[in-house]
Structure 1
Amino acid sequence: MCVQAISNPRSEDDQEKAWQAVCPLVNQLRNYYEFSIALEAVVVDLLSVLCSDEMTSRQHLEMQQSLFKQFAEILDFTLKFDDLKMTNPAIQNDFSYYRRTLSRMRMAGGDDIDKDLDVNNDMANRMSLFYAHATPMLRMLSDNTTKFVSQNKDLPVENTTDCLSTMACICRVMIENPNYRSKFSSEETVLFCLRVMVGAIILYDHVHPVGAFAKSSGINIKSSIKVLRDEHPGKVEGLLNALR
């Protein structure tokens, strides 16, 4: 996801070149937006199984490791995507330029111009609402986790919070315990665990009645933050900001 900043084109030739340059980049943004919609259904399906009332969270983890891994990979992707989005202001600049240009084109040529575009006015409006959030993927994930809890009244909220706190705890222990960490094959594995830990904490904070930062929380926030701060600042600053 690398969107280049577009300067302010003045001549018609410059405007055409800028439009041709920005269209493929906006198409990439559309792909990510549509991927977020696909993730919504996947997240609900995963939570339905991982937070069911048939077993405890640890029993789920032992019996359904592959599903937990899938959920962890979604959390990892979410945190990586949002960090890139926050550190690349050109994304919003390019998309704003695209919408301004599209608006001028529709004023000059009518609504029919939409038929020839991969990202028409309606799609651009929906994408704008998505990318307006500082962390759009995390917002989608937290909203759907909260929706899952509210729509499953027969399922104790503790099932979901226990699932999330268990994931966060396991990731933290794997990083802070030298016996586990020595088995990691690369630094990326450490960052994977950190992103999953932070993602699980944030989701827990959204659905738990008192949040993740209360003393009665099932997550050891102090130890979790210490694990983050013990890493190289340049690698975890985005994760600390997400917790803030």
Structure 2
Amino acid sequence: MGNLMQVLKKDGRRCGEDIFLDFENAQPTEEERPVYDQVKVVLDQSVGILEDLESYAGADEAIRNAIANPNSDEHQHMAWDAVCPLVKKLKEFYDYSSDLEEVLPLLLQALCAEDPVASLERKQALAKQFAEILHFVLKFDDLKMSNPSIQNDFSYYRRTLSRMKMNNAGGEDQAVVTNEEANRMSLFYAYPTPILKTISDATTKFVAENKDIPIDNTTDCLSTMAAVCRTMIEQPELSARFHNPETILFCQRVMVGVIILYDHVHLIGAFSKKNNSIDIRASIKVLKLHDNPHLEGLLNALRYTTKHLNDESTPKEVKKMLAA
């Protein structure tokens, strides 16, 4: 197992040196096992969810034909038959986000209830699971944003279902999701990064509801993980310990994810010049250190899903670094 050896403080800024979280090989201890097993049940589904999203082709042609031939029952039926299985798949994605929302507080409780640095060192398998959730979230949302068919399919489904109900054509009987579910799903998919919003809201809710856990514990956990990931990416002697080249991208996604969560939870956020916990300039720079085909998606996540980037307290240099 990797060794989280120390977190030093320099000039009031917490930064990682000689830090290594073994994202490739960490295994649960007996202490971690109860939470680990609960989270694993959910995480085991993530690969299949991403595969389904990557192969999501949409019903664009059938929908175009139906719109172009409004009086053709054949085209209307073909579009409806094409879109219904896709809406079922979108419901699975939506339900999975709810599953992640349920298990995330288990990990936050385990990692933040006591000193977060000591917890990250002692509970590396849980830290790995937390990282795996963030990696999944950013990858899912990046795929979702690049696939306009998702919004188009769902909008067509809702319009057609509403028209069928108005015409007494048995819309309710043919619905693959209930009207109430459709309303919730519509709000979910309206966001460019729906699962990231779900996770951000869940983290904010965790902080608000767990008054016995100091908010600094949660923000320290997030900022420490950001420092860990940044350090493992930028120091060749640490990144050389990875056996899988994809682990660098994994660390980049996780770093961006914890920065976003920190920015939502912390009062002044991750970008303020008064923030002494996250080196945001160095974090942005390490995203560009390695060849990364998903760089723009990660930069967009920082640009558009954070809370405090456009605050007056954000240095102009940082805004310039993230300028689209």
Determine if the TM-score, normalized by the shorter chain, exceeds 0.5. yes
Q: 262, 267, 289: which one pairs with 1:230?
A: 289
The residue number in structure 2 matching 1:220 is 279
In structure 2, what is the Cα distance between the partners aligned to 1:30 and 1:16? 21
In structure 2, what is the Cα distance between the partners aligned to 1:240 and 1:58? 27
Q: 205, 209, 213: which one pairs with 2:267?
A: 209
Q: 108, 112, 120: which one pairs with 2:167?
A: 108
| Local SS of the residue matching 1:210 | coil
Relative to total residues, which structure has the larger helix share, 1 or 2?
Answer: 1
Contact 2:234-2:289 at 8 Å conserved across structures: no
Q: 96, 118, 122: which one pairs with 1:35?
A: 96
1:34, distance to aligned residue in structure 2 (A): 0.6
Identity of aligned residues (%): 58
Contact 2:87-2:176 at 8 Å conserved across structures: no
Contact 1:40-1:144 at 8 Å conserved across structures: yes
The residue number in structure 2 matching 1:7 is 64
Contact 1:51-1:57 at 8 Å conserved across structures: yes
The size of the alignment, in residue pairs, is: 241
The residue number in structure 2 matching 1:58 is 117
In structure 2, what is the Cα distance between the partners aligned to 1:58 and 1:42? 21
Residue identity in the other structure for 1:7: R
The residue number in structure 1 matching 2:224 is 166
Deviations 1:47-90 (A, max 9, x none): 111110x3x22210121111111111110110001101111111
In structure 1, stretches of 5+ residues that fail to align are: none
TM-score normalised by the chain length of structure 2 = 0.71
Structure 1 runs (4+) deviating above 4 angstroms are: none
Contact 1:205-1:211 at 8 Å conserved across structures: yes
Deviations 1:14-49 (A, max 9, x none): 111111111111111100101111111101111111
The residue number in structure 1 matching 2:142 is 83
In structure 2, what is the Cα distance between the partners aligned to 1:195 and 1:225? 12
| Local SS of the residue matching 1:216 | coil
Q: Does 1:152 align with 2:213?
A: no
The residue number in structure 2 matching 1:70 is 129
Residue identity in the other structure for 1:25: L
In structure 2, what is the Cα distance between the partners aligned to 1:94 and 1:86? 14
1:128, distance to aligned residue in structure 2 (A): 0.2
